[in-house]
């Protein structure tokens, strides 16, 4: 058994990056809430919400957590980074919603330098990639100046800030010590364990080969540093429990109690229901961030393995691959196919679109052909909310309490997946039934208010001593 580090041991890690790493450039400052801004009732809380990337409708979990917390009467100060003017403008949506924002620029060169330095030690590259000492300084200043009821830190990329907060709280004299809630979102090591076998991109397999073991050890260690660790699904929780059992078995019962599942929700107004029968007759949409390696592999599988079987019987079907930052492999999927009989392209790769909901609502069928993954697949939830019939793999739906044939169709392997698509394309009544059932499922199980109600209770966890 490896010795379980105490929370105070985090100081050694948080101090490893010196001032030479400070990013150059201007600072984006949107005034955080202070005591003079508070108009709170007895249940309102001050939350410091640390995200290592700009929350926006694509990075939906922190974006909706923040907006829903504010709408429910809490004061939220967001500490984050931006990498482009688009991301910088995205932060204005949070201020418009009523959140305070402190933000620093983060250049890609700085992130790559962080990763190169991490190669020399045991820390995962992901845990160092978004480290910015200026942002950490401003987080400390915020904790010193404001009364904060809870510190929420998202993702493995944000974990170094969570460790920095733990070190600060261990050494600071504050009237009250807030709990630190680390939202891992997914178990990254669980994702990597699948990807190293299944990813169709050599670059991803090489990076994951370097990262896997150090990520497994680090994720297990992080659970012991904070009051609570959050994940989106029971599968990810089970992955963390397995890591704890391997690395810290004697502390397993106490540490397992710190892991909580809070699933993602869906904005039910934005992803509004549209009658499945009031759509074009033969369009298939695959949505998501198209630089994410699991989505890249899924897109390649869909177009290269599944769709030739569909086109053999339905040459009129068009595929939409919709989402920001498509890789070169994904962009090439739009090439080399004869046009549809109508003259339209057989495969359309859109890149970023103004409103993902409009595309999902206009499609005949939504697909989630993931061969590996972790957490909850937002693409499936958003399509179900829109009433768009879904065909997905078991991997894409493993975190959802759905039944094939009731809310959607589940199929694995190219032939079975293609047959499910052909069945739906030929059966308008089945599309209508699945679309209505999918909407009911999301309304019952995946509202952001329900997720944030659980989050509010977790924020009241007593601090570690």
Give the mean pLDDT of 312-323. Answer: 97
Domain count, the chain: 2
Q: What is the pLDDT of residue 28?
A: 43
Question: What phi and psi values does residue 8 have, to the nearest 5 degrees?
Answer: -65, -20
pLDDT exceeds cutoff 70 at 20: no
Q: Write down the mean pLDDT value for the chain.
A: 89
By CB neighbour count within 10 A (0-12 exposed, 13-18 middle, 19+ buried), where does 78 fall?
A: buried
Residues 358 and 440 in one domain: yes
Residues 68 and 217 in one domain: yes
Residue 272 is assigned to a structural domain of this protein = no
pLDDT exceeds cutoff 60 at 238: yes
pLDDT per position as a tens digit, 252-265? 999 999 999 999 99
The Cα 164–Cα 81 span in angstroms is 16
Q: What is the pLDDT of residue 36?
A: 31
- Cα–Cα nearest to 222, from 150, 161, 159: 159
Q: What is the pLDDT of residue 23?
A: 30
Residues 429 and 454 in one domain: no
Give the mean pLDDT of 420-432. Answer: 97
Q: What is the pLDDT of residue 303?
A: 97
DSSP-derived letter for residue 225 is T
The residue with greater pLDDT, 44 or 23, is 44
Residue 131's alpha-carbon distances to 152, 184, 192, in angstroms, are 16, 16, 21
162 and 16 in contact (C-beta within 8 Å)?
no
Q: What is the pLDDT of residue 5?
A: 43
- For position 205, which CATH number holds? 3.40.50.2000
pLDDT exceeds cutoff 90 at 341: no
Residues 61 and 31 in one domain: yes
Residues 215 and 313 in one domain: no
Residue 223 binned pLDDT confidence (cut-offs 50, 70, 90): very high
Residue 276 is assigned to a structural domain of this protein = no
Residue 19 binned pLDDT confidence (cut-offs 50, 70, 90): very low
The residue with greater pLDDT, 167 or 21, is 167
The Cα 301–Cα 293 span in angstroms is 12
Residue 275 is assigned to a structural domain of this protein = no
For the chain, percent of residues with pLDDT exceeding 90: 78
Residues 261 and 367 in one domain: no
Give the mean pLDDT of 227-232. Answer: 97
Residues 224 and 312 in one domain: no
pLDDT exceeds cutoff 60 at 39: no
Residues 300 and 196 in one domain: no
Placement of tokens 């190669």 in the chain? 119
Residues 331 and 209 in one domain: no
Residue 20's alpha-carbon distances to 17, 137, 165, 206, in angstroms, are 8, 14, 20, 29
Q: What is the pLDDT of residue 27?
A: 43
383 and 390 in contact (C-beta within 8 Å)?
yes
The Cα 282–Cα 260 span in angstroms is 41
- Cα–Cα nearest to 159, from 190, 185, 177: 185
pLDDT exceeds cutoff 50 at 32: no
Residues 439 and 454 in one domain: no
The Cα 102–Cα 113 span in angstroms is 23
Please state which of the ranges 32-41, 47-56, 86-95 shows the lowest mean pLDDT: 32-41
Residue 465 is assigned to a structural domain of this protein = no
Residue 30 is assigned to a structural domain of this protein = yes
Give the mean pLDDT of 279-305. Answer: 94
Residue 121 is assigned to a structural domain of this protein = yes
pLDDT per position as a tens digit, 132-180? 999 999 999 999 999 999 999 999 999 999 999 999 999 998 888 999 9
Residues 261 and 340 in one domain: no
Residue 464 is assigned to a structural domain of this protein = no
pLDDT per position as a tens digit, 200-220? 666 667 777 788 899 999 999
Q: Residue 95: which residues within 8 A CB-CB, separation 6 or more?
A: 30, 101
pLDDT exceeds cutoff 70 at 337: yes
Placement of tokens 């009523």 in the chain? 98
pLDDT exceeds cutoff 90 at 48: yes
Residues 223 and 363 in one domain: no
Q: What is the pLDDT of residue 199?
A: 67
DSSP string, 135-173: HHHHHHHHHHHS--SEEEEESGGGHHHHHHHHHHHHH--
Q: How many of the other CB atoms lie within 10 Å of CB of 21?
A: 16
Give the mean pLDDT of 325-346. Answer: 92
Q: Which domain holds residue 441?
A: 283-445
pLDDT exceeds cutoff 50 at 398: yes
- Cα–Cα nearest to 187, from 228, 220, 226, 152: 220
pLDDT per position as a tens digit, 103-127? 999 999 999 999 999 988 899 999 9
The Cα 178–Cα 149 span in angstroms is 5
Q: What is the pLDDT of residue 200?
A: 66
Give the mean pLDDT of 385-400. Answer: 95
pLDDT exceeds cutoff 70 at 42: no
Residue 463 is assigned to a structural domain of this protein = no
């Amino acid at each position: 058994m490896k010795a379980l580090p105490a929370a105070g041991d985090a100081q050694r890690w948080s101090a490893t990056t010196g001032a030479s790493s400070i990013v150059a450039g201007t600072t984006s400052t949107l005034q955080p809430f202070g005591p003079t801004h508070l108009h709170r009732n007895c249940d309102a809380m001050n939350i410091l919400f640390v995200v290592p990337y700009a929350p926006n409708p694509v990075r939906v979990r922190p974006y909706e957590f923040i907006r829903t917390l504010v709408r429910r009467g809490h004061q939220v100060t967001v500490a984050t980074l931006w990498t482009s003017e688009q991301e910088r403008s995205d932060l204005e949506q949070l201020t418009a919603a009523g959140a305070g924002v402190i933000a620093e620029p983060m250049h890609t060169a700085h992130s790559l330098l962080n990763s190169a330095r991490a190669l020399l030690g045991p820390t995962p590259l992901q845990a160092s990639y978004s480290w910015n000492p200026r942002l950490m300084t401003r987080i400390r200043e915020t904790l010193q100046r404001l009364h904060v009821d809870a510190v929420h830190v998202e993702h493995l990329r944000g974990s170094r800030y969570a460790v920095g907060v733990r070190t600060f709280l261990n050494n600071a004299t504050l009237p009250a010590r807030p709990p630190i809630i680390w939202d891992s979102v997914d178990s990254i090591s669980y994702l990597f364990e699948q990807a190293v076998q299944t990813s169709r991109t050599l670059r991803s397999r090489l990076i994951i080969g370097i990262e896997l073991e150090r990520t497994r050890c680090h994720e297990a260690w992080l659970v012991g540093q904070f009051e609570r660790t959050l994940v989106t699904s029971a599968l990810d929780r089970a992955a963390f429990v397995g890591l704890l059992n391997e690395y810290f078995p004697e502390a397993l019962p106490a540490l397992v109690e710190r892991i909580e599942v809070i699933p993602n929700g869906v904005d039910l107004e934005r992803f509004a229901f549209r009658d499945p029968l009031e759509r074009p007759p033969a369009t298939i949409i695959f949505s998501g961030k198209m630089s994410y390696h699991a989505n890249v592999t899924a897109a390649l599988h869909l177009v290269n393995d599944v769709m030739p079987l569909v086109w053999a019987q339905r040459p009129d079907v068009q595929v939409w691959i919709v989402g920001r930052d498509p890789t070169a492999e994904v962009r090439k999927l739009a090439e080399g196919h004869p046009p549809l009989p109508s003259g339209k392209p057989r495969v359309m790769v859109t890149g970023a679109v103004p409103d993902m909901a409009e595309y999902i609502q206009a499609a005949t069928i939504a697909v989630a052909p993931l061969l590996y993954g972790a957490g909850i697949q937002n693409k499936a939830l958003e399509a179900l909310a829109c009433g768009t019939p879904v065909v997905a793999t078991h991997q894409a739906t493993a975190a959802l309490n759905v039944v094939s044939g009731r809310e959607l169709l589940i199929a694995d392997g190219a032939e079975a997946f293609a047959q499910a698509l052909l069945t739906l394309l030929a059966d308008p009544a089945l599309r209508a039934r699945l679309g209505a059932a999918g909407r009911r499922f999301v309304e019952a199980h995946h509202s952001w208010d329900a997720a944030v109600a659980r989050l509010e209770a977790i924020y009241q966890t007593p601090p570690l001593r």
